[in-house]
Amino acid sequence: MSCFFRLFASTGKMDGNPLSEIEEIVKTTTEQHESNSRVDGGGGAENASTNGHGRSHDNNDEGHAALSDKAAALKKRQCVFAELMSTEETYVQDLSDVVNGYMTEINNANSDIPMPEDLKGGKMKLVFNNIKDIYEWHKDFFLRALRNCQNSPADLGPLIKRSATKFALYYTYCSNKPLSEYIVSAHYQYFDCIRQKLRHRLDLSNLIIKPVQRITKYELLIKEIIKATEAAGLQKEVPMLQEAYQQMKVVVKTVNDMMVVLRSLQDFDGEITAQGSLLMQGPMNCLVDAAQRQRELQVFLFQQIIIFADIEKTRNQYASPIFKYRSHIQLNHMQMKELGDCRFQIRSTDPKIPEMTIVCEAGSNYAAWVDMLNKILQQQNDLIFMLSNPLSTKNK
The full set of domain ranges for the chain reads 75-265, 270-391
What count of other Cβ atoms lies within 10 Å of the Cβ of residue 3? Answer: 8
What count of other Cβ atoms lies within 10 Å of the Cβ of residue 228? Answer: 21
Are residues 262 and 321 in contact, defined by beta-carbon separation less than 8 angstroms?
A: no
> What is the tens place of the pLDDT at every residue in 21-38?
444 443 444 444 444 444
Considering the chain, what percentage of its residues have pLDDT values greater than 90? 46
Q: Which fold has domain 75-265?
A: Dbl Homology Domain; Chain A (1.20.900)
Q: Using CA atoms, how far apart are residues 281 and 168, in angstroms rounded to an integer?
A: 19
What does the pLDDT average to over 237-260?
Answer: 87
Instruction: Write the CATH number of the domain with boundaries 270-391.
Output: 2.30.29.30
pTM of this prediction exceeds 0.75: no
Q: Pick the more confident residue, 343 or 64.
A: 343
Most confident of 3-17, 64-78, 132-146: 132-146
What does the pLDDT average to over 6-22?
Answer: 39
Q: Using CA atoms, how far apart are residues 114 and 89, in angstroms rounded to an integer?
A: 33
Do the two domains 75-265 and 270-391 of this chain adopt the same fold?
no
Q: Using CA atoms, how far apart are residues 140 and 158, in angstroms rounded to an integer?
A: 18
> What is the tens place of the pLDDT at every residue in 113-159?
999 988 887 788 889 999 999 999 999 999 999 999 888 888 888 99
Please provide residue 362's backbone torsions phi and psi, each rounded to the nearest 5 degrees: -95, -10
